[in-house]
Amino acid sequence: MNIASFAPLAVLLPILGAALTFLLIRHSKAQRTVSIVVLSLTLLLECWLLASVWDGGTSAVNIGGWLPPWGIVMVVDQFSSLMLVVSSSVSLAVLVYATGQGMADGDRDAPVSIFHPTYLILVAGVSNAFLSGDLFNLYVGFEILLTASYVLMTLGGTGPRIRAGVTYVVVSVVSSVLFLIAIAMVYGATGTINMADLALKLAELDPGTRNLLHVMLLVAFGIKAAVFPLSFWLPDSYPTAPAPVTAVFAGLLTKVGVYAMVRTETLLFPGDTFNTPLMVAALLTMVVGILGALAQSDIKRLLSFTLVSHIGYMVFGLAMSSVAGLGAAVFYVAHHITIQTSLFLVTGLIERRGGSSSMDRVAGLAKLSPVLAVLFFVPAMNLAGIPPFSGFLGKLGLLQAGVQLGTPLAYALVIGGVLTSLLTLLAIARVWNRAFWRKPEDAEHPDPVLLADPAESATGDRAGKANVTLLPRTMVGSTLGLVIFGVGLTVFAGPLFRVADQSALVMLDRTSYIHAVLGEDAAVPALSQPTPGPDPAGDQPADGQERK
Amino acid sequence: MSVNLTLLTVMGALYACGIYLILERSLTRVLLGLMMLTNATNLLILTTGGYAGLAPLFSKDTAPGDYNDPLPQALILTSIVISFAVTAFMLGIIYRTWVLAREDEIQDDAEDRRVAKTPSFDVEDDSVIPVETSEFPLTMLGSDGQSVSDTPDGADATVKVADRKLDAEVAASEEQPGSLNITPPNKEGGGQ
């Protein structure tokens, strides 16, 4: 049985769910149930997909029976299924959080009835992008998730959201147009847009043409992934959206860009043609991003800048094009999706409890709500890369790979990576000191909520009554779930790292992918492998049986 | 392979006008620019399909080379649908901007301006601390919360939001989406 035959369900289920929730637009309770059930089913399906490729192997399905390279293929391998599982877990947690928020304050801030269908379509787009084995289908996946994200970004249509939405929409459309131009040129040059077929045909092109196509794809994906010179739009547009929306955007959207960059670099254009520029971009992304974060006084904006900055780590891992570097980057993507999303969810809770997300206004939260403090502290330390956590492990893997590479630029990146990590710690510690540790009276413009009569809180009235509306149990619960999931990545880092390294090996080797899509007799052009090494998984023969 | 020069010229003109228009500040022009860019790209995709041929309906007598390449046309159809959706959404946004702000221009991010105007002097980190702010030893003696914010801050910076000129701090607090219960920041600080 071909496992990939079930892969299209990961896209279909959310779309069907979206249709159903749209029909139930007047029944918010039924809507909530449908979307949570649908996402849970999708998550289960994706866990099954991951389990079946856990030990290596790639399988592909031809949609509608059209044979590649003409038809659309969907490809399941370790990298794509790992991304699917992490992204669906995160989106399920955010969905629960959002329904909790919707139940707590009704439709005041966001028309939740629109939220559910749009959110499911976003998830479908993300799944489609991760599974796609066809350049144009990847574009369609991007467009599905972007169109859904336009609606989510401007939910409620308030002034600031519309202002931020305009920037976001225009930048996204321009990047999509660039991507489409690149697709057209790729098709013009090779006559195919199937990624496995391209892997064979792009190698035959004239180096000049190939480099042009390569740069165009990288720029288009670089805008979506927010790599430094192209990252200006992100901190401007993310912070104004509703908290759950910002959280899911921060977790997923940029990572889909990173995923596309990884596929471009490994499958379509292997080799090290653009490794040096990518490394420079990675260094600048890390350093400039984190310096921006230090200047902010709003927690959401600060987190948006750290998001940009940490994209640099992933690009660094990718740019080394070694198994160790790419494997660490894969692990880092999984870690960062989880951690960044949980931090934004906690910020949403801070905003509810403290009345604002500005560090000039909130203070003393550690005393007011110790749960909130713990929920913030754990992912924050994880983000900064404090030893036991997965952030540390991912960064350690990247730095080791950098030292292994040993070029001066790699050493510069290693130093830059350590510096960025320390500056992240500084930025996070400032949030901690200001929002959690200092007394409310010391804040520049304390929010009235924080200055309420201390006697009231002493009697426990506040804890018993007000806290329930300020911090609904579903919201805290889903955030807690995601934080625990993040800690789980640390606990199970061993097997995860093994899978990440294996997937890196398979991606750099390409044989498995090309054979899965085009059949066994496709001749894979040999290329100068940086680290050939013995194949520990021995998964080449296994793939043969995968595909019938 | 020969290419259609007219198509190429039209495409180039559309790209040029499109890029010029999206650099404008007026939203309607930006929208027009985006439409031109997407249409120019559609023409580009059409060009990549090679020269025009017969409609790709299979018949036994036709040589395979005589057909037109159907794939680019399928791609164009998809991309037209997508750009249609985006255009409709942009029109909605433009209308909303007009309803809210009575203008058709991209507005500045107030928080961005405020951060840019913040002096490098940081109250929290750089000021001389008047009293022991630690939680434990001196609370009994009454840390009078000597207003830390007496120290100079950038409160007199102003921001232009829509048609109003606002104090930067106030503008920033209006920008906060979640803070519904804000009061205008009082200059005394402390807020006892």
Q: Which pLDDT score is estimated for B19? A: 94
Distances (CA, A) of A313 to A59, A226, A230, A443: 29, 12, 16, 34
Name the band, by pLDDT with cuts 50, 70 and 90, for residue B85.
very high
Per the CB < 8 A criterion, the answer to whether A213 and B148 are in contact is: no
Q: Pick from B135, B153, B178: which is nearest to A351 by CB?
A: B178
- Chain A contact for B80, CB < 8 A? no
- Chain B contact for A446, CB < 8 A? yes
Q: Which pLDDT score is estimated for A113? A: 74
Instruction: Give the dihedral sign, CA A416/A420/A421/A422.
Output: positive
Question: What gap in Å lies between CA A71 and CA A62, rounded to an integer?
Answer: 7
- Chain B contact for A352, CB < 8 A? yes
Among A189-198, A428-437, B105-114, B183-192, name the one with the lowest average pLDDT: B183-192
Q: Which pLDDT score is estimated for A439? A: 79
Per the CB < 8 A criterion, the answer to whether B94 and B28 are in contact is: yes
Q: Structure pTM?
A: 0.83
Q: Which residues, numbered 483 to 522 in chain A, qualify as contacts with chain B under a Cβ-Cβ cut-off of 8 Å?
A: none
Q: Do A438 and B90 touch (CB under 8 A)?
A: no
Q: Which residues, numbered 23 to 42 in chain B, qualify as contacts with chain A under a Cβ-Cβ cut-off of 8 Å?
A: 27, 30, 34, 37-38, 41
Optimal mutation site among A101, A121, A166, A350, interface B, most CBs of chain B within 10 A = A166
Query: A163 to chain B: nearest residue by CA?
Result: B107
Could you read off the pLDDT of A255-303 as tens digits, one per residue? 999 999 999 889 888 877 888 899 999 999 999 999 989 888 889 999 9
Instruction: Give the dihedral sign, CA A402/A405/A408/A409.
Output: negative
- Chain B contact for A439, CB < 8 A? yes
A530 pLDDT higher than 50: no
A104 pLDDT higher than 70: no
Query: B88 to chain A: nearest residue by CA?
Result: A147
Residues of B in contact with A177 (CB under 8 A): 34, 37-38, 41
The average confidence (pLDDT) of chain B is 74
What is the DSSP track for B138-180?
A: STTT------GGGS--STT-EEEETTEEEEHHHHHHHH-SS--
Q: Which pLDDT score is estimated for A274? A: 86
> What is the rounded (10 degree) CA torsion for A393, A394, A397, A402?
-140
Name the band, by pLDDT with cuts 50, 70 and 90, for residue B181.
very low
Residues of A in contact with B88 (CB under 8 A): none
Q: Pick from B44, B107, B185: which is nearest to A181 by CB?
A: B44
The DSSP output letter for A408 is H
Tell me the mean pLDDT in the region A37-54. Answer: 91
Residues of B in contact with A136 (CB under 8 A): 75, 78
Q: Do A444 and B34 touch (CB under 8 A)?
A: no
End-to-end CA distance of chain B: 80
Task: Identify which of B98, B48, B27, B30 has the alpha carbon closest to the alpha carbon of residue A180.
Answer: B48
* A281-292 per-residue burial string, b: 16 or more CB within 10 A, e: under 16: bbbbbbbbbbeb
Q: Which residues, numbered 261 to 320 in chain A, qualify as contacts with chain B under a Cβ-Cβ cut-off of 8 Å?
A: 295-298, 301
Question: What gap in Å lies between CA A439 and CA B132, rounded to an integer?
Answer: 12
Instruction: Give the dihedral sign, CA B118/B122/B127/B132.
Output: positive
Query: A233 to chain B: nearest residue by CA?
Result: B109
Task: Identify which of B107, B108, B111, B109 has the alpha carbon closest to the alpha carbon of residue B169.
Answer: B111
Backbone angles phi, psi at A43, to 5 degrees: -60, -40
A126 pLDDT higher than 80: yes
The DSSP output letter for A281 is H
Name the band, by pLDDT with cuts 50, 70 and 90, for residue A16.
very high
Q: Calculate helix-pair angle for A135-153, A159-190, nearest 10 degrees.
A: 170
Query: ipTM score here?
Result: 0.83
Q: Which residue ranges make up each domain of chain A?
A: 3-438+472-518
Q: How many helices (H) and strands (E) does chain B have?
A: 6, 2
Name the band, by pLDDT with cuts 50, 70 and 90, for residue A17.
very high
End-to-end CA distance of chain A: 8
Q: Pick from B82, B175, B192: which is nearest to A441 by CB?
A: B192
Could you read off the pLDDT of A339-380 as tens digits, one per residue? 999 999 999 888 888 878 888 888 888 888 888 899 999 999
Per the CB < 8 A criterion, the answer to whether A229 and A249 are in contact is: no
Question: What gap in Å lies between CA A362 and CA A444, rounded to an integer?
Answer: 9
